[in-house]
């Protein structure tokens, strides 16, 4: 087995992680809220009074950020090697999992672990184990 080192990008990964951490701390300090992507979207459907503006701004930031990175830093465009049916099925499974776990990897993995939440540790371990298993099955089992 050979390792493809072209995917080893520690500086952009550390920079992105630091920015996510700063955004999580900023939201906690500004609004007293935990930054979780599924919670952001879930709070808009149906909209909650007084919450829609900051939630919409955060989601807009998640959408606009990759385009800004591409413009400012000549970041490469991601290559998605899956078809539409696979992406839709994956999205539905992730959505089901975030409802089941009462949060997503950003809420549990970034904010929950930083708060030393045992529930977030269990959820993050389950997310990671499911991801490892899915990659193994897709690459070696199918």
pLDDT in tens, 77-117: 777 888 999 899 988 888 888 888 888 888 888 888 988 99
Unique residue bearing structure tokens 């939630």: 55
- 31-49 residue pLDDT tens: 888 888 888 888 888 877 7
Residue 48 is classified by DSSP as P
**pLDDT the model gives residue 102:** 84
User: Is the entire prediction scored with pTM above 0.85?
Assistant: no
User: How far is residue 133's CA from residue 33's CA, in Å, rounded to a whole number?
Assistant: 32
H helix runs in 3-115, sequence order = 10-31, 37-42, 52-73, 84-100, 113-114
* Three-class DSSP category at 49: coil
Q: What percent of the chain has pLDDT over 70?
A: 96
Q: How far, in Å, CA of 18 to CA of 69, rounded?
A: 15
Mean pLDDT of the chain: 85
3-class secondary structure, 133: helix
Question: For the chain, what is the domain count?
Answer: 1
Which domain does 10 fall in, by range? 5-141
């Amino acid at each position: 087995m050979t390792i493809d080192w072209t995917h080893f990008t520690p500086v952009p990964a550390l920079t992105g992680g630091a920015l996510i951490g700063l955004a999580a701390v900023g939201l906690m300090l500004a609004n007293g809220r935990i930054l979780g992507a599924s919670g952001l979207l879930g709070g808009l459907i149906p909209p909650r009074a007084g919450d829609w503006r900051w939630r919409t701004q955060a989601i807009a930031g998640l959408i606009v950020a990759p385009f800004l990175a591409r413009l400012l830093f000549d970041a490469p465009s991601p290559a998605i090697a899956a078809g539409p049916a696979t992406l839709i099925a994956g999205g539905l499974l992730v959505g089901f999992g975030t409802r089941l776990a009462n949060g997503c990897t950003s809420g549990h993995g970034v904010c929950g672990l930083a708060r030393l939440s045992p529930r977030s540790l269990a959820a993050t371990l389950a997310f990671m184990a499911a991801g490892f298993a899915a990659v193994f099955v897709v690459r070696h089992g199918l």
